[in-house]
Structure 1
Amino acid sequence: MAHEIPVTQARAEFAELINRVVYGGERVVVTRHGKPLVALVSAADLEFLESADDPSGEEAVRSVSTVREVPSAPGERPRFGIAAHYTGEHRDPSS
């Protein structure tokens, strides 16, 4: 969990906050009126966060979205009060 500190206090203790982040492994969230403004993280944490934004992770999302549909177990639909059944067919409600 990150340590939160008001912006006015962060200004006064900036050098100490940098040391806490770099050498103490802490993450610091600077706030204004109780709302987060910025976060101080180590360069290693930033590198990790930027690599997580890499679009190569989209392949995993695509593979999950192509998982086939598995039918419900017998008796499951009435047990949970499911009345409708999706057949995969599209009907135009205006016709």
Structure 2
Amino acid sequence: MTYEIPVTQARAELADLINRVVYGGERVVVTRHGKPLVALVSAADLERLENEPEVAEEQVISSLSSVGSITSAPGERRRFGIAAEYRGEHGDGGVNATETPHN
């Protein structure tokens, strides 16, 4: 299971996030402005990813694609004072596989 969290919230909850990854078997994607920045994975997951580079690349792309389609909870947006949400060029929160995201 993948859990998405804004970087500002991740700073405050780092110990809890580490426990979710290590003991709960979760993967945590830390975002900034709704865009994935980094992922927290267990050491065992990292070892598997490093030993299977081609499979790992496909899994990461698949995971990030699914993360891009997740929207934040309305209460969370209000909690952090977020007035707008990036939805991509097509309004779906993701990037078309044939396009390059604009920075």
For 1:30, the equivalent position in structure 2 comes to 30
**How far has the Cα of 1:43 moved from its partner?**
0.2
Give the partner amino acid of 2:49: L
Partners of 2:53 and 2:23 lie apart in 1 by 26
**How far has the Cα of 1:53 moved from its partner?**
1.7
Partners of 1:47 and 1:10 lie apart in 2 by 23
Q: Which runs of 4+ in 1 moved over 4 A?
A: none
Deviations 1:27-75 (A, max 9, x none): 0000000000000000000000000127xxxxxxxxxxxxxxxxxxxxx
Partners of 2:11 and 2:45 lie apart in 1 by 22
Question: Which structure's CA Rg is the greater one?
Answer: 1
Matched-pair identity in %: 83
Q: How does 1:1-95 map to 2 (within 5 A)?
A: 1-53=1-53
> Please, what TM-score do these two structures have when normalized by structure 2?
0.51
Give ranges in structure 1 of 5+ residues lacking alignment.
55-95
**How far has the Cα of 1:23 moved from its partner?**
0.3
> Please, what TM-score do these two structures have when normalized by structure 1?
0.55
